[in-house]
């Protein structure tokens, strides 16, 4: 199974989100094998998009959440609120949240634990800057991010964790990591996760690639066994591009069945 996360960010409103959700479902109509698709619209569109994806091949994801159950946190959304509107996945620690909004590793850790406590699947984002990669610190940065984010995290039976490797220098730049760079980091992340969760059964952990994923480069990433899927940003709001990403996943999955 390959997983495709569509992060629509703050690019579409409610009506556009509904139309995009419908178009996304059309991309898999008639397919014999279907990848796991998670659409993450803006918060204001979650309720309406849920109506579109309910009882479909797609799941509903949120772009963020707060780490507390409730309280005087104006403008924030709790895990319980997300589950009430049908959300099953939540992006945590996206580079834009870390860089623009100042989220720390400790905040990310609290959100991961809160998500799991509420039966949500965290999509934990990690990745290094261009300066850190140039200084040969990429692995150290990712290891530290994973260690902090997963501190005191326990995976119970039935729970699942997705980690998205998103090199910051490849987000929104049009420049993706080379296949060699992506594979090397995915292998490293898998090793770290196996150390943190040595008894995790197959399917409980997976690692995705995110960073300027397009219809042109999606296949080269998803054909690799180490890469469980992709986190798609800009291309996910362009149906022609997203259809190519989905078709790449379908082609890979069909090949695995042969």
How many CB atoms sit inside 10 A of residue 208's CB? 26
Which pLDDT tens digit goes with each residue over 150-193? 999 999 888 999 999 999 888 766 667 889 999 999 999 999 99
Can 190 be counted among the known catalytic residues? no
DSSP string, 177-215: PPHHHHHHHHHHHHHHHHHH-TTPPTTSEEEEEESS--T
Exactly one of 96, 166, 186, 244 is catalytic; which is it? 166
pLDDT band with cut points at 50, 70 and 90 for residue 139: very high
Which of 94, 96, 103, 186 does the annotation list as catalytic? Answer: 94
Q: What is the reported pTM?
A: 0.95
Average pLDDT value for the chain: 94
Confirm whether 186 is a catalytic residue. Answer: no
Whether 89 and 61 have beta carbons less than 8 Å apart is answered as yes
- The pLDDT, as a whole number, for residue 128 is 95
Number of H helices, E strands in the chain: 10, 8
CA distance 100 to 42: 17
For the stretch 52-88, pLDDT in tens is 999 999 999 999 999 999 999 999 999 999 999 999 9
Q: Which helix (H) or strand (E) holds 48?
A: helix 46-53
Q: What is the mean pLDDT of residues 90-100?
A: 96
- Domain definitions of the chain by residue range: 3-257
Q: What number does CATH give the domain 3-257?
A: 3.20.20.70
Please give the pLDDT value at position 172.
65
């Amino acid at each position: 199974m390959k997983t495709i996360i569509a992060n629509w960010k703050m690019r579409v409103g409610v009506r556009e989100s509904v139309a995009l959700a419908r178009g996304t479902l059309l991309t898999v109509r008639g397919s014999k094998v279907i990848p796991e698709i998670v659409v993450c619209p803006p918060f204001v569109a979650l309720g309406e998009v849920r109506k579109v994806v309910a009882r479909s091949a797609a799941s509903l994801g949120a772009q963020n959440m707060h780490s507390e159950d409730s309280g005087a946190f104006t403008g924030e959304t709790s895990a319980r609120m997300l589950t009430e509107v049908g959300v099953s996945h939540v992006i945590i620690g996206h580079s834009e949240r870390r860089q623009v909004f100042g989220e720390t590793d400790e905040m990310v850790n609290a959100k991961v634990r809160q998500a799991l406590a509420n039966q949500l699947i965290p999509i934990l984002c990690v990745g290094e800057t261009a300066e850190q990669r140039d200084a040969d610190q990429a692995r150290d940065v990712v290891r530290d991010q994973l260690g902090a984010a997963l501190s005191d995290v326990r995976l119970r039976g039935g729970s699942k964790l997705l980690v998205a490797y998103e090199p910051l220098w490849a987000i929104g730049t049009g420049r993706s990591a080379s296949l060699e760079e992506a594979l090397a980091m995915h292998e490293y992340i898998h090793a770290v996760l196996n150390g943190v969760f040595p008894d995790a059964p197959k399917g409980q952990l997976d690692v995705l690639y995110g960073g300027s994923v397009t219809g042109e480069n999606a296949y080269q990433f998803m054909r690799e066994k180490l890469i469980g899927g992709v986190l798609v940003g800009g291309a996910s709001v362009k149906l022609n591009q997203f259809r190519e990403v989905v078709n790449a996943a379908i082609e890979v999955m069909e090949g695995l069945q042969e």
